[in-house]
Structure 1
Amino acid sequence: MTHASTGQCELMEPLVARVLAPNPSPYTYTGTQTYLVGAQDLAVIDPGPDEPEHIGALLAAIDDRPVLAIMCTHTHRDHSPLAARLKAETGAEIVGCAPLVLDDHGPRADAAFDRSYAPDRVLADGARVTGEGWTLEAVATPGHTSNHLCFALVETDALFSGDHVMGWSTTVVSPPDGDMAAYMQSLDKLIARSDRIYYPAHGPAVEKPQRFVRHMAGHRRQRERQILRLLEKGPQEIPAMVERMYVGLDPRLHGAAERSVLAHLIDLRNRELVLTEGDAWRSR
Structure 2
Amino acid sequence: MNAPIDPADMPTGIRMTLSPLVGRVLAPNPSPFTYTGTQTYVVGTSDVAVIDPGPDEANHIAAIVAATGGRPIRAILCTHTHRDHSPAAAPLAAVVGAPIIGCAPLTMEDDGPRADAAFDAAYRPDRILTDGDQVAGEGWTLQALATPGHTSNHLCFALLEEKALFTGDHVMGWSTSVISPPDGDMTDYMRSMQRLLDRDDAIYYPAHGDAVDNPRRLVRGMMGHRKQREGQILRFLERNGASAIPAMVAEMYKGVDSRLHGAAGRSVLAHLIDLDQRGKAAPLDDGRWRLC
Q: Name the TM-score, length of structure 1 as normaliser.
A: 0.96
SS at match of 1:13: coil
- Give the counterpart of 1:67 among 67, 73, 78: 73
Deviant stretches of 4+, over 4 Å = 103-106
> 1:199-238 maps to which residues of 2 (within 5 A)?
199-233=205-239, 234-238=241-245
Does 1:174 pair with 2:174? Answer: no
SS at match of 1:155: helix
Q: Which moved more, 1:56-65 or 1:235-244?
A: 56-65
Q: Distance in 1 between matches of 2:163 and 2:283?
A: 44
Residue aligning to 2:252 = 245
1:105 Cα deviation after fit: 5.0
Q: Distance in 1 between matches of 2:103 and 2:229?
A: 29
Does 1:157 pair with 2:151? Answer: no
After superposition, the C-alpha distances for 1:211-265 in whole angstroms (9 at most, x for unaligned) are: 1000000000000000000111201100010011011110100000000000000
Aligned-residue Cα RMSD (Å) equals 1.4
Q: Specify the code of the residue in structure 2 equivalent to 1:257.
A: A
After superposition, the C-alpha distances for 1:14-67 in whole angstroms (9 at most, x for unaligned) are: 100000000000000000000000011000000000001101111111122100
1:205 Cα deviation after fit: 0.3
1:5 Cα deviation after fit: 1.6
- Give the counterpart of 1:187 among 193, 218, 241: 193
> 1:47-58 maps to which residues of 2 (within 5 A)?
47-58=53-64
SS at match of 1:256: helix
> 1:109-188 maps to which residues of 2 (within 5 A)?
112-188=118-194
Residue aligning to 1:283 = 291
Q: Specify the code of the residue in structure 2 equivalent to 1:156.
A: E
Q: Specify the code of the residue in structure 2 equivalent to 1:251.
A: S
1:4 Cα deviation after fit: 2.7
Identity score, percent: 64
CA contact (8 A) 1:273 1:283 kept: yes
Q: Specify the code of the residue in structure 1 equivalent to 2:289.
A: W
SS at match of 1:137: strand
Q: Distance in 1 between matches of 2:114 and 2:266?
A: 9
Query: How many residues align structurally?
Result: 281
Gaps of 5+ in 1: none
